[in-house]
Structure 1
Amino acid sequence: MLIWIGALALIAFVLTFVQARAVLWAAATAIWIAAGFATGLIGSTTTLVLAAIAAPIAVLTTFRPLRAAVLSAPAMKAFAGIMPRMSPTEQAAVEAGNVWWDAELFAGKPDWKRLLATPAPKLSPEEQRFLDIEAEHLCDLSNDWESTSVWQDLPPAAWEYARDKGFLGMIIPKRYGGLGFSAYAHSQVVQKLSTRCSAAAVSVMVPNSLGPAELLLHYGTDAQKDHYLPRLARGDEIPCFALTNPYAGSDAASITDTGVVCRGVWNGRETLGFRVSWRKRYITLAPIATVIGLAFRAVDPDGLLGQGAEPGITCVLLPRDHPGVNIGRRHWPLNAVFQNGPITGDDVFVPMEMVIGGQPQVGNGWRMLMECLAAGRAISLPSSNVGMSKLAVGMVGAYVAIRRQFNMPIGAFEGVQEPLARMAGHLYASDSLRQLAAAALDQGEKPSVVSAIAKYHVTERARIVVNDAMDVVGGKGVCMGPGNFLARAYQQIPIAITVEGANIMTRTLIIYGQGAVRCHPYVLTLMRTAQSQNLKDFDAALFGYAGFLFRNLARASAFAVTGGLLIGRPAGAAPQLGRYYRAATRFSTLLALASDLSMATVGGALKRKGALTGRLGDILSQLLILSSALKRFEDEGRPAEDLPLVHWAAQDALARASEAWRALLANHPSRVVAFVLGAVGVGLTRAGPDDRVSADVAGLIQRHGPARERLLAGSWTPRIEVDPIAATAAAFDLHPKIEAVERRLKPEIASGRIARAPQNLTLLDAWAGEVEARGLISSEERDLFARFAVLADMAIQVDDFPQDFGLAEGLTRRGGKRAAKREKVTQ
Structure 2
Amino acid sequence: MIGLLAFLAIIIVTAFIFYFHLSRRSGCAVFVAAWLLAGTCSEFFVHPLALLVVLAVLAVILVDSLRIKFVSAPARNALKKMMPAMSSTEREALDAGTTWWEKDVFSGQPDWSKFEKIELSSLSEAEQAFIDNETAELCEMLDEWQIHHHDKDLSPAVWQFIKEKGFLGLIIPREYGGLEFTPYAQSRVVSKIASRSTVAAVSVMVPNSLGPGELLMKYGTAAQKDFWLARLAKGEEIPCFGLTSPEAGSDAGAIPDTGVVCEQEYKGEKVLGVKLNFSKRWITLAPIATVVGLAFRLSDPDGLIGDEVERGISCALVPADLAGVEIGRRHYPGSAFMNGPITGVDVFIPMSMLIGGQEYIGQGWMMLVECLGAGRGISLPALSTAGGEMSYLMVGAFARIRRQFGIPVGKFEGVQEASADIAAGAYMLEAYRALVTRALADGAPSVLTAMAKYHATETMRGLINHSMDILGGRAIQMGPRNFMALVYQTIPIAITVEGANILTRSMIIFGQGAMRCHPYLADELEALSDETDGAIARFDKLLSAHLAHTAGVFSRGFIAGLSAGKLSKPDCGNSALAERWYPRIDRYSAVFAATADFALLLLGGDLKRRELLSARLGDVHSQLVIACAILKYHDSQTASEANTAHAEFALKRSFAAINKALLGFYQNMPQRWMGCVLKVVFFPWGVPNFDVSDNEIRSLGDMIMTPNPVRAQLAAAVHISDDDQDAQGRIHRAFDLLTEIESEYDVFLENDQRGRLDGEDFAEKLNSAVSKGLVSEAQAARIAEYDERRYDCLLTDAFDANLHDVDVRPVRP
| Shorter-chain TM-score tier | over 0.9
The answer for the alignment partner of 2:341 in structure 1 is: 342
- Range 672-681 or range 444-453, more displaced: 672-681
The answer for the alignment partner of 1:742 in structure 2 is: 745
The answer for the alignment partner of 2:216 in structure 1 is: 216
1:785 aligned to which of 783, 787, 801:
783
The answer for the alignment partner of 1:240 in structure 2 is: 240
The answer for the alignment partner of 2:446 in structure 1 is: 448
- Range 177-186 or range 304-313, more displaced: 304-313
The answer for the alignment partner of 2:187 in structure 1 is: 187
Question: Residue type matched to 2:677 in 1?
Answer: V
The answer for the alignment partner of 2:586 in structure 1 is: 585
Question: Residue type matched to 1:454 in 2?
Answer: A
CA distance 1:192–1:49, shift in 2 (3 Å):
same
C-alpha contact 1:764 1:785 (8 A) present in aligned 2: no
What secondary structure does 1:276 align onto? Answer: strand
C-alpha contact 1:96 1:374 (8 A) present in aligned 2: no
Q: Distance in 1 between matches of 2:476 and 2:110?
A: 46
1:481 aligned to which of 461, 479, 492:
479
2:798 aligned to which of 800, 816, 823:
800
The answer for the alignment partner of 1:117 in structure 2 is: 117
Question: Residue type matched to 1:326 in 2?
Answer: E
Q: Distance in 2 between matches of 1:389 and 1:477?
A: 16
Q: Distance in 2 between matches of 1:491 and 1:532?
A: 52
What secondary structure does 2:348 align onto? Answer: strand
1:816 shift after superposition: 6.1
Question: Residue type matched to 1:115 in 2?
Answer: F
C-alpha contact 1:549 1:593 (8 A) present in aligned 2: yes
The answer for the alignment partner of 1:492 in structure 2 is: 490
2:24 aligned to which of 22, 42, 46:
22
Matched, 1:552 2:553: yes
Question: Residue type matched to 1:705 in 2?
Answer: N
1:165 shift after superposition: 0.7
Q: Distance in 1 between matches of 2:753 and 2:345?
A: 81
The answer for the alignment partner of 2:709 in structure 1 is: 706
The answer for the alignment partner of 1:72 in structure 2 is: 72
C-alpha contact 1:94 1:514 (8 A) present in aligned 2: yes
CA distance 1:74–1:36, shift in 2 (3 Å):
closer
The answer for the alignment partner of 1:87 in structure 2 is: 87
C-alpha contact 2:385 2:456 (8 A) present in aligned 1: yes
Q: Mapping of 1:33-182 within 5 angstroms?
A: 58=58, 60-64=60-64, 67-68=67-68, 71-182=71-182
Q: Distance in 1 between matches of 2:700 and 2:35?
A: 61
Question: Residue type matched to 1:473 in 2?
Answer: L
1:395-420, Cα deviation, whole Å (9 max, x unpaired): 11111111111111111111111111
Q: Mapping of 1:622-771 within 5 angstroms?
A: 622-682=623-683, 683-720=686-723, 723-742=726-745, 753-754=756-757, 763-771=761-769
> Which consecutive unaligned segments of at least 5 residues does structure 1 have?
807-812, 822-827
C-alpha contact 1:190 1:380 (8 A) present in aligned 2: yes
C-alpha contact 1:85 1:531 (8 A) present in aligned 2: no
1:747-792, Cα deviation, whole Å (9 max, x unpaired): 9669865369x9xxxx544433443344544443233223212222
Q: Distance in 2 between matches of 1:755 and 1:94?
A: 76
C-alpha contact 1:231 1:237 (8 A) present in aligned 2: yes
C-alpha contact 1:437 1:454 (8 A) present in aligned 2: yes
- Range 111-120 or range 240-249, more displaced: 111-120
Question: Residue type matched to 1:708 in 2?
Answer: R
CA distance 1:772–1:247, shift in 2 (3 Å):
same
1:452 shift after superposition: 0.8
The answer for the alignment partner of 1:13 in structure 2 is: 15
Q: Distance in 2 between matches of 1:32 and 1:661?
A: 34
C-alpha contact 2:572 2:582 (8 A) present in aligned 1: no
CA distance 1:7–1:796, shift in 2 (3 Å):
closer
1:19 shift after superposition: 3.4
Q: Mapping of 1:502-513 within 5 angstroms?
A: 502-513=500-511
Q: Mapping of 1:338-417 within 5 angstroms?
A: 338-417=337-416
Question: Residue type matched to 2:589 in 1?
Answer: S
The answer for the alignment partner of 1:810 in structure 2 is: none
- Range 208-217 or range 599-608, more displaced: 599-608
Question: Residue type matched to 1:168 in 2?
Answer: L
C-alpha contact 2:800 2:807 (8 A) present in aligned 1: no
C-alpha contact 1:598 1:673 (8 A) present in aligned 2: no
CA distance 1:159–1:12, shift in 2 (3 Å):
same
| TM-score normalized by the length of structure 2 | 0.93
CA distance 1:268–1:68, shift in 2 (3 Å):
farther
Question: Residue type matched to 1:15 in 2?
Answer: I
CA distance 1:253–1:572, shift in 2 (3 Å):
closer
C-alpha contact 1:97 1:375 (8 A) present in aligned 2: no
Q: Distance in 2 between matches of 1:46 and 1:653?
A: 49
CA distance 1:120–1:639, shift in 2 (3 Å):
farther
C-alpha contact 2:282 2:340 (8 A) present in aligned 1: yes
1:63 shift after superposition: 4.4
Count of residue correspondences: 803
Question: Residue type matched to 1:585 in 2?
Answer: D
1:706 shift after superposition: 1.6
1:9 shift after superposition: 4.8
1:150-203, Cα deviation, whole Å (9 max, x unpaired): 210122221111111101100001110000100000000111111110011000
C-alpha contact 2:667 2:676 (8 A) present in aligned 1: no
1:685 shift after superposition: 4.5
1:667-726, Cα deviation, whole Å (9 max, x unpaired): 111123212212123312434222111111111111112221123331102211673541
CA distance 1:753–1:36, shift in 2 (3 Å):
closer
1:737 shift after superposition: 2.1
What secondary structure does 1:346 align onto? Answer: strand
The answer for the alignment partner of 2:294 in structure 1 is: 294
Q: Distance in 1 between matches of 2:41 and 2:754?
A: 94
1:518 shift after superposition: 1.0
Q: Distance in 2 between matches of 1:786 and 1:8?
A: 78
1:249 shift after superposition: 0.6
C-alpha contact 2:107 2:589 (8 A) present in aligned 1: yes
CA distance 1:556–1:36, shift in 2 (3 Å):
closer
Of all paired residues, the percent bearing the same amino acid is 39
Q: Distance in 1 between matches of 2:198 and 2:223?
A: 35
1:540 shift after superposition: 1.5
| TM-score normalized by the length of structure 1 | 0.92
1:310 shift after superposition: 5.8
CA distance 1:34–1:306, shift in 2 (3 Å):
same
1:350 shift after superposition: 1.8
1:392 shift after superposition: 1.9
What secondary structure does 2:273 align onto? Answer: strand
- Range 241-250 or range 631-640, more displaced: 631-640
